[in-house]
Structure 1
Amino acid sequence: MSRARIRLAATGVLLSALAVGTLPVGAAYAAPTATARHQQHPYPYPYPYQQQLAETIRQIPLQGAVNVRDIGGYRTLLGGQVRQGLVYRSDALSKLTDADLTTVSGLGLTKVVDFRIPMELQYDGADRLPAGLTPTSRQVSDLGLYGTLVGAIATGDPVKQEQILGGGRAEAYMRDIYRTFVTSPDSRAQFAATLREIADGAQGPLLYHCTSGKDRTGWMSYVLLRALAVPQPTAERDYLASNTFRAAYDAQVRAGLKQSGRMQNPDLLIPLQEVRQDYLDSATAQLEADYGSFYGYLTDGLGLDLKTLAKLQTKLVRS
């Protein structure tokens, strides 16, 4: 049998298994060590990818953004590996330095998708990108979280801040946002459009991002990796790794707010700054309730047909 026919047959097996929910979570997968999961690439670009551990998270070190990563390198359940250099995830790119622009230029991006809403752009600024790149706005609602956060900090009143963010309210807000990733037709449309572009064989390297690169971007990455048959535990670790990459920056933000007197207890922000397994679980539980399975979410929720799912495999997974 030719290699092309073998690849097509393997894709068919994968899609069939997804359809009936029988794909074994642990098949063809060896969990990486904690050190391997969070090891960063040596620099400068280009990275010696072939020398990296298969399950290493490939961070792109920049001065003006802290959560920029190549989603490639992960092993799939069928023994393939997600190709590198094609899809990137990040936090906002509005504060890139000149040196950062040189680094980003080296990625060869042909498209940047921005999930932020207008208020975020107003406060954080538009993306700063290499010449010839213009971001595509693809707004995904945060249920007003950004405005609520800005308003709470602006009061400078510790009692009001506690009333808004304390007592588990911040965590509940985050779980609601994640459920909305699944229930909102507008959000589903934006994620689906991005997946279709990624699957397009004519589309060059693409980067998508939100403000912190952890929630909307985290969900997009989780869905993409699962659609490529990356094991669920691996996709979850990729999602949770935002805590590692953002920890120092987020701590500086809290320290600055306390020092300036705007927040007496900036730790109220931690549930909003972090990603957590139960946030992700809120979204996955919602998709199972609404669509029965992850495959149902891909096909019925996002409207992706089998041809598009097969194109994702062909483009992004190498044997």
Structure 2
Amino acid sequence: MKHARLIRSTLVGIAALLAFAGCGKSERAEKQTAADVFSIEREARGKRAFLVVNAPAKWSIYAGDSVEKIDMTAPLLEGTQTGRVELPLKNANHAFFRVKSTLGETVLAERHLPMSGGYNFRDLGGYKTVDGKRVRWGRVFRTDDLNKLTTEDLAYLASVPITSIVDFRSESEIKAAPDLPAPSVRHQYAYSITPGNLTSADDLNQFTKKQTEEFMIEMNRLFVTDERIIELYRKFFKLLQDEGKLPLMFHCSAGKDRTGMGAALFLASLGVDEKIIFEDYLLSNRYLAGKYEPLIKKNPQLEPLYRVSPEFLRAGFEQMKKDHGSVENYLRKVLQVDLEKMRSLYLD
């Protein structure tokens, strides 16, 4: 109990630091599909779009403002080349794409959103579930802080259009760096995952690297056991089950811990394999490198505060399995998630 209070008390200290930075050879290979081979990338400056082709194929790509409005009468571009191919979009808005190819068809959007004023902005669509379905693009987004978004960033988010924002930061974080919501946003929710007394950044600076790693592991256990935090994730899932609140964006300061657990629980509720869930979780290390590398160099013993490790998320998942038998049981019984409704809303 005493250790749990310490974990609770240190959450805001972490947030303050984060916010400061502004199969075998004998097995037959699985056949590649269009979803495996094709992806979309966008550049932050100018929002230029590229089709990335990772295997030889003949392809045609079509675009639209929504999946339902993709114009299939004329391709945006056709080709056989591999690599990174720029797409001739008419504007800098968010778009959805359909690729028809000799490897099959797939719907695409960019995984990493092209933000000049943000780092860890991601669409949680496109992931494959254990029963072969795909998470719909453009419905739920995970991000880091929103206080430095540019006019172009906000216009792009409005074109999604983002309707709801869930903010997991503390009241002090929100006050210090209030969100800049896109014009399309109609609902904002402050679900602050920062219970207990506060610990200053000076206290955190006394941690050794091993103590910091142990702290992060315990914090992820707390995310799924502390009743106050559970209630906030329960509210979060209620919003996710309300189609009128979509598309929805959720975030904290770095978009990796409080948001990382939220994203992992969301994907788990849809039946995405744990290996893929952990891969998504670890992408934060790639996208946050430019944001936190200077702080890691200054305080190397605090590196675990600025990065994610499989052991952190695994601690939370193992705790759910230990206490409830499975993550699915935890979602149903503790967070009161209607898994069937979630899958009807988010899977194709």
Which one of 287, 301, 311 corresponds to residue 334 of structure 2?
Answer: 301
Aligned-pair CA distance for 1:252: 3.4
Which one of 209, 218, 242 corresponds to residue 284 of structure 2?
Answer: 242
CA contact (8 A) 2:117 2:148 kept: yes
The 1-side partners of 2:261 and 2:166 are apart by 14
Q: Which residue of 1 aligns with 2:167?
A: 114
- CA, structure 1 residues 92+276, in 2 after alignment: closer, same or farther (shift >3 Å)? same
Provide Cα deviations, 1:50-70, integer angstroms capped at 9, x if missing partner.
Answer: 349889970102111100011
Q: Which residue of 2 aligns with 1:127?
A: 179
Q: Which has the higher contact order (CA 8 A, sep 6+)?
A: 1
Query: How is 1:94-243 mapped onto 2 (pairs within 5 angstroms)?
Result: 94-123=147-176, 125-131=177-183, 133=185, 135-141=188-194, 148=199, 150-152=201-203, 161=205, 164-243=206-285
The 2-side partners of 1:189 and 1:92 are apart by 22
Aligned-pair CA distance for 1:38: 9.7
- CA, structure 1 residues 273+86, in 2 after alignment: closer, same or farther (shift >3 Å)? same
- CA, structure 1 residues 278+31, in 2 after alignment: closer, same or farther (shift >3 Å)? farther
Provide Cα deviations, 1:242-267, integer angstroms capped at 9, x if missing partner.
Answer: 00111122113445xx4xxxxxxx21
Q: Which residue of 2 aligns with 1:158?
A: none
Aligned-pair CA distance for 1:235: 0.8
Aligned-pair CA distance for 1:47: 3.7
Provide Cα deviations, 1:156-180, integer angstroms capped at 9, x if missing partner.
Answer: xxxxx3xx22141111111111011
- CA, structure 1 residues 202+38, in 2 after alignment: closer, same or farther (shift >3 Å)? closer
Partner SS, residue 183 of structure 1 = coil
Q: Which residue of 1 aligns with 2:84?
A: none
CA contact (8 A) 1:39 1:56 kept: yes
CA contact (8 A) 2:217 2:315 kept: yes
CA contact (8 A) 1:36 1:56 kept: no
Amino acid at match of 2:135: V
Q: Which residue of 2 aligns with 1:13?
A: none
Partner SS, residue 135 of structure 1 = strand
Gaps of 5+ in 2: 1-29, 43-47, 50-91, 100-104
Normalising by structure 1, we get a TM-score of 0.75
Which one of 274, 294, 303 corresponds to residue 252 of structure 1?
Answer: 294
- CA, structure 1 residues 274+167, in 2 after alignment: closer, same or farther (shift >3 Å)? closer
CA contact (8 A) 1:91 1:211 kept: yes
| Larger helix proportion of the pair | 1
The 2-side partners of 1:109 and 1:167 are apart by 38
- CA, structure 1 residues 105+57, in 2 after alignment: closer, same or farther (shift >3 Å)? closer
The 1-side partners of 2:169 and 2:327 are apart by 25
Provide Cα deviations, 1:287-312, integer angstroms capped at 9, x if missing partner.
Answer: 112111112211222122xxx21111
CA contact (8 A) 1:68 1:88 kept: yes
Amino acid at match of 2:161: G
The 1-side partners of 2:302 and 2:40 are apart by 27
Which one of 78, 103, 115 corresponds to residue 62 of structure 1?
Answer: 115
| Larger strand proportion of the pair | 2
CA contact (8 A) 2:97 2:109 kept: no
- CA, structure 1 residues 169+143, in 2 after alignment: closer, same or farther (shift >3 Å)? farther
The 2-side partners of 1:282 and 1:242 are apart by 18
Aligned-pair CA distance for 1:36: 7.4
Aligned-pair CA distance for 1:200: 1.9
Partner SS, residue 81 of structure 1 = coil
- CA, structure 1 residues 201+129, in 2 after alignment: closer, same or farther (shift >3 Å)? closer
Partner SS, residue 183 of structure 2 = coil
Equivalent pairs counted in the alignment come to: 264
CA contact (8 A) 1:38 1:241 kept: no
- CA, structure 1 residues 171+206, in 2 after alignment: closer, same or farther (shift >3 Å)? same
Aligned-pair CA distance for 1:74: 0.7
Amino acid at match of 1:240: L
Amino acid at match of 1:282: A
Aligned-pair Cα RMSD in Å: 2.8
CA contact (8 A) 2:94 2:157 kept: no
Identical-residue share of aligned pairs (%): 27
Normalising by structure 2, we get a TM-score of 0.69
Pair 1:46 & 2:84 matched? no
The 2-side partners of 1:165 and 1:31 are apart by 46
